[in-house]
Amino acid sequence: MLAVQKALAEAQLAQLQAQLRPHFLFNALNTVSSLMQTDTARADRVLSELGDLLRANLATSRCDFVPLQEELKVLRKYTDIMHERFGERAVVSWNVAPDALDVPTPSMLLQPLVENAYKHGVERNTDPVFISIVAAREGDSLRVKIHNTGSTLSSTEPPATPGVGLSNCRERLRLLYGAAAELHVEEDTASGVQAIVTLPCRAA
């Protein structure tokens, strides 16, 4: 019975990861398409960066877990592509504690959360939107906060109907860690929204 449950959980995880990849690729290609109308040189540069990102993504997707530093490398490639699209409309800052870099992290877990910051913050504003990625150990847990200005919870999906990215992230955490990990989305006092991921400093 335990073997059957394990196989079912692994199948569910594989399905969730498969759902995220086309969603991510569609958004990246949409970025290239929009640039083709205005700046073909930048569009060509983004296609090259997208190739680098896909290679990095394929490398990490072969594993359920990667060190946080590998997850962040893929994330930086994604934000580089978004910078080509939005320029100074998106200002990204990174604050990652050195002792958090080796923590095993589910691969492709953070990218949908950063994508939401662009979707609900940057895309809906002409003024600069500030996105911050903060990661640190807290006792035996890793906590990652992804904050963006320029949006509120009421301007995103209602809590009863979260987007596919948030739903998939929560379901992956549940399957991998049970009740030991969580994803919480909230408004903060700095006029913005933040997603907070908390998970054990160990592979599930």
State the pLDDT at residue 145.
96
CATH number of the domain residue 134 falls in:
3.30.565.10
Q: Which amino acid is at 2?
A: L
Q: Which amino acid is at 119?
A: K
Q: Provide the domain count of the chain.
A: 1
Could you list the residue range(s) of the whole structural domain that residue 100 is in? 2-200
State the pLDDT at residue 5.
47
The set of residues, in sequence order, having a beta carbon less than 8 Å from that of 49 and lying 6+ positions away, is 77, 80, 81, 84
Q: List the beta strands (DSSP E) in 16-140.
A: 65-67, 90-96, 104-106, 129-138
Give the count of beta carbons closer than 10 Å to the beta carbon of residue 18. Answer: 11
State the pLDDT at residue 24.
66
State the pLDDT at residue 111.
87
Distance of alpha carbon 174 from alpha carbon 164, whole angstroms:
15
List b or e across 165-182, with b for residues whose CB sees 16 or more CB atoms inside 10 angstroms: bbbbbbbbbbbbbeeebe
Cross-strand pairs, 196: 145, 184
159 token code pair: 């809590």
108 sits in the region (left: phi over 0; alpha: psi -120 to 50; else beta) called left
Q: Are 141 and 174 in contact (CB under 8 A)?
A: no
Q: What is the dihedral of CA 114, 162, 170, 97, to 10 degrees?
A: 30
State the pLDDT at residue 140.
94
Nearest one of 150, 155, 93, 94 to 127, comparing CA atoms: 150
State the pLDDT at residue 167.
84
Prediction pTM value:
0.81
Could you give the maximum distance between any two Cα atoms of the chain, in Å?
A: 58
State the pLDDT at residue 59.
67
* CA contacts within 13 A on the Cβ side of 19: 17
Instruction: Give, for all 204 residues of the chain, the pLDDT tens digit.
Output: 444 444 444 444 454 455 555 666 777 787 788 778 888 888 888 888 888 877 776 666 667 789 999 999 989 988 988 888 888 999 999 999 999 999 999 988 898 899 899 989 998 999 999 999 999 999 999 999 999 998 888 765 554 445 667 888 898 898 889 999 999 999 876 679 999 999 999 765
